[in-house]
Amino acid sequence: MSALYRQLPAIDRLLKTEFGTQLLATFGHIATVNMMRIQLEKAREQIKQHQQLPDYCQTEQSFLQHIQQQLQQQRQVNIQPVHNLTGTVLHTNLGRAIWSEAAQQAAVNAMRQNVALEFDLQQGKRGHRDQAISELIARLTGAEAACVVNNNAAAVLLMLATFAQGKEVIISRGELIEIGGAFRIPDIMAQAGCKLVEVGTTNRTHLRDYAQAINENTALLLKVHSSNYQIVGFTTSVSEEELVQLGKEKGIPVITDLGSGALIDFREYGLPYEPQVQQKVAAGVDLISFSGDKLLGGPQAGIIVGKQEWIDQLQRHPLKRVLRCDKVILSGLEATLRLYLEPENLAQSLPTLNALTADLTQLTENAQQLQQALQQKLAERFEIAINNSDAQIGSGSQPTAKIPSIAVTLQPKSTKSEDLYQLVTQLKTLSQPIIGRIEADKLWLDLRSVADIEALLTTVNEL
């Protein structure tokens, strides 16, 4: 063991070599020396446990090459791009909506330059960071004003904390939702300091249930869109229009958590129906919250729209500053919303809508290209075929609705079940990992959720 320890290279000598000098010039003295110390300590541990040198310590050259690789890896961002072939277009675990070119450019401009974030150029004095968004939302939805926070959960929290702290909020038992990440409406209410009052049953809630629960301590009537599940069969629910009428009679505001945030009628594109923000505004709901990175197709944000007097109170609440968005998100969101001013071009300019509306002919052509590329690499081990598939919107939007799609499937020729999982692992180690889904003992690579087919084919060549 002593002899093995003596074979470990000396840092001072390594730094004086030509390769070492290049590392210093590229990565700096501190990072290079620290990495050398870390790798030498790992080598000592291997000698101690296994009485052998690691492969990278066999020569000074191999050690320096290993250090270079480790330093390059250290520079890599862990949140790396992946190819989404799951068939779920808005995949929460894969970042949901892809930003449009316009949103990307707006965000880059905000990163590179100072922007008029809270400065009114016309008045020459301080403005409000939500002003541009508020004016756009008003134009698109008919609402009087808008408020923007970092996600829809934050939007719900802010509304409840502002208007119902220490008071009661009435909600149907069938709308006490839980979404990904253990976000539960009852927990949000507790954090906001208000009391949950459940009415009705899981499958049936009537207007009289709300009316009977109202008392002098009632602050809000809350409606939650059950976007990530459906209750079917013997059901009854109360519409926003009915709640608004009851609220007016009793002097109690109505708020709605709409979730996905559709600003267009998706049925016009052959897609499942999703409630629109404009409909809730027209129904007279006082405040409506929704997400920016789901069906809206923009960056992660929580948007609240409604009457000016209610929005003003939200803007003044201390939580608003805690939950507000930065210049990059607001720039990307504004650029996304501006695309909706040209609805005829939306399917081309908005990546989410483009993916959801891609025709099967184009998807089949893409699948054929992918099949050919995979056959060149994997035909000996797998049966590679093109099949019809069922894609979905994702992120809690229309969970039971399926969108026709096309997928390339890979089925092992051997009877070894581990072959499929080895392939899945192999695809994840590529420079841009490929993520599919396993179903019926096959790996399905669904083309509807792919962002860039050319980039995907380039990645497949690495196999």
Query: Interhelix angle for 185-192 vs 152-164, to 10°?
Result: 50
Confidence of residue 233 (pLDDT cuts 50, 70, 90): low
Determine the distance from the C-alpha atom of residue 388 to the mean position of all C-alpha atoms in its chain, rounded to a whole number.
Answer: 26
Greater confidence, 428 or 188?
Answer: 428
**Mean pLDDT throughout 108-133?**
92
* CB-CB contact of 240 with 223 (8 Å): yes
- Structure confidence by residue, pLDDT tens digits, 122-147: 888 898 999 999 999 999 999 999 99
- Structure confidence by residue, pLDDT tens digits, 366-390: 999 999 999 999 999 999 999 999 9
pLDDT over 90, % of the chain = 79
Q: Residue 59 has what pLDDT?
A: 93
* CB-CB contact of 422 with 412 (8 Å): no
- Specify the pairing of strand 403-412 against strand 442-446: antiparallel
pLDDT of residue 415 exceeding 90: no
CA gap 83, 370 in Å, rounded: 13
Confidence of residue 232 (pLDDT cuts 50, 70, 90): low
**Mean pLDDT throughout 251-266?**
92
Angstrom CA distances, 334 to 39, 108, 288, 321, 349, stand at 47, 13, 18, 19, 14
Q: Which range, of 198-202, 331-335, 439-443, averages the lowest pLDDT?
A: 198-202
**Mean pLDDT throughout 90-111?**
96
Q: What letter would DSSP give residue 122? A: T
**Residues of 91-122 as b/e, b for ≥16 C-beta within 10 angstroms?**
beebebbbbbebbeebbeebeeeeeeeeeeee
The whole-chain average pLDDT of the chain stands at 92
Among the four given CATH numbers 3.30.300.130, 3.40.190.10, 3.90.1150.110, 3.20.20.70, the one describing domain 83-92+354-461? 3.90.1150.110
**Mean pLDDT throughout 409-430?**
90
Q: Where in the chain is the domain with CATH 3.40.640.10?
A: 101-349
Those residues with Cβ within 8 angstroms of residue 102's Cβ, 6 or more apart along the chain or in another chain: 335, 336, 338, 339, 349
Torsion sign (Cα): 57, 61, 64, 69? negative
- Structure confidence by residue, pLDDT tens digits, 21-75: 999 999 999 999 999 999 999 999 999 999 999 999 999 999 999 999 999 999 9
Confidence of residue 328 (pLDDT cuts 50, 70, 90): very high
**Mean pLDDT throughout 176-190?**
74
pLDDT of residue 227 exceeding 60: no
Task: Please give the CATH number for the structural domain made up of 101-349.
Answer: 3.40.640.10
- How long a stretch of residues is the chain? 463
CA gap 424, 441 in Å, rounded: 12
Beta strands in 48-176 (DSSP E): 83-84, 119-120, 125-126, 145-149, 168-172
Q: Where in the chain is the domain with CATH 3.90.1150.110?
A: 83-92+354-461
**Mean pLDDT throughout 200-211?**
88
Q: What letter would DSSP give residue 275? A: -
Residue 128 is encoded by which pair of tokens?
Answer: 């409000």
Determine which helix (DSSP H) or strand (DSSP E) holds 406, and give its type and residue range: strand 403-412
Q: Which range, of 201-205, 244-248, 425-429, averages the lowest pLDDT?
A: 201-205
Q: Residue 280 has what pLDDT?
A: 95
Residue 364 is encoded by which pair of tokens?
Answer: 């089949």
Q: What is the pTM of this model?
A: 0.89
Question: Counting beta carbons within 10 angstroms of the beta carbon of residue 232, is it exposed (0 to 12), middle (13 to 18) or buried (19 or more)?
Answer: exposed
Greater confidence, 180 or 138?
Answer: 138
* CB-CB contact of 158 with 317 (8 Å): yes
DSSP of 341-392? TSGGGHHHH-HHHHHHH--HHHHHHHHHHHHHHHHHHHTTTEEEEEEEEEEB
CA gap 443, 446 in Å, rounded: 10
Q: Residue 327 has what pLDDT?
A: 96
pLDDT of residue 228 exceeding 60: no
